[in-house]
Amino acid sequence: MESSELGEKYLKQSPEQLIVYIYSPEYISACDSLCKIPSRASMVHSLIEAYGLLPYMRVVRPKPATMEEMATFHTHAYLQHLQLVSEEGDDDNPESVEYGLGYDCPTSKGIYDYAAAVGGATLTAAQCLIDQKCKIAINWPGGWHHAKKDEASGFCYVNDAVLGILRLRQKYERVLYIDLDLHHSDGTGDVTDIGLGKGRWYSVNVPLQDGIQDDRYFHVCESILKEVCTAFNPEAVVLQLGADTLAGDPMCCFNMTPVGIAKCLKYVLHWELPTLILGGGGYNLANTARCWTYLTGVILGKTLASEIPDHEYFTDYGPDYVLEITPSCRPDRNDQQQTERILSSVKGNLKNVV
């Protein structure tokens, strides 16, 4: 049976079994324009396409977010300033520093349109889940979790993760956000950061040291998520899968492979909850494409060939031209006692969740 025929058979299944994949040429082009990750979105999409995975998913064209939609989290003042500098292509506006724009988040012509595209794509994915068009919705170019209400931060101009959560909460009361990026959302990090006000006890942080590899990472992830799921009883999940944890990433911290990340992904998917999947960090572009393509195959239950298929970006995968990523010899600085102390502390905190 040809892959297109398999795809037709798959798409005849009930909506709950379908996977939505957010894509349009215009959306990918907008995401390719970011100077820190040039053409990353195209590399990811092209590899997913080259492995023949698109026929097994419902491809949905995203709609750009309106200013009002982005203002469900961001301030109008920030969005209006982002729009102003976007139209002018002005990197020297004296007010930009106040809004976090500059060295870490440079401005350029069209940056507002990019923010609207990413925010809208995650909102489109969330709406597909709300409308029960699928059980899993994927937006790999999303996952920009550092942006604050009134500031760009950490190369993030819009917090599409928050926008997606807020949209899902129109239907689902308890939305669990899981962030597996190397640097998770701003303002947290220590195991004692447990949230503030009404959110006290609802934030869980698991600080890890350099060099962690797949097995230890999954042990921590599984142990924490089991407790979190029991305590919080989520109705929907937003899962951010930044690829800057991988061996070979310029961030040079963790020593993971896509196989380890996939174990965490499969653990979350076995809950069988509506799940919004986002990308995030990942600055070795070829390895990021390898990772998210492999994870797409895992979501679809497809085993992918080791050899990278011939396609537009084939030469970027040299010299080995394989899908696998090999860990480096970086030492793992996470000792067992330290890890168990963190897990014990988190489990104790979760007893306060109601």
Q: What average pLDDT does the structure give for the chain? A: 92
> For residue 38, what are the CA distances in angstroms to 68, 286, 316?
29, 12, 13
Could you tell me if 280 and 181 are in contact, meaning their C-beta atoms sit under 8 angstroms apart?
yes
Beta pairing partners, 307: 322
* Signed CA dihedral, 36, 39, 45, 48: sign only: negative
Note the pLDDT tens digit of each residue in 53-63: 999 999 999 99
Q: Average pLDDT of 229-252? A: 96
> For residue 308, what are the CA distances in angstroms to 45, 97, 198, 256?
14, 43, 48, 20
146 is annotated as an active-site residue: yes
Model confidence at 90, pLDDT cuts 50, 70, 90, reads low
Note the pLDDT tens digit of each residue in 258-286: 999 999 999 999 999 999 999 999 999 99
* pLDDT tops 50 at residue 2: no
Contacting residues for 263 by C-beta, under 8 A, at least 6 apart: 214, 218, 221, 222
Q: Average pLDDT of 323-331? A: 96
Residue 4's pLDDT is 42
By CB atoms closer than 10 A (0-12, 13-18, 19+), residue 310 is: exposed
- 81, 146, 183, 184: the catalytic one is 146
Whether cis (ω within 30° of 0) applies to the bond prior to 106 is: no
Residue 188's pLDDT is 62
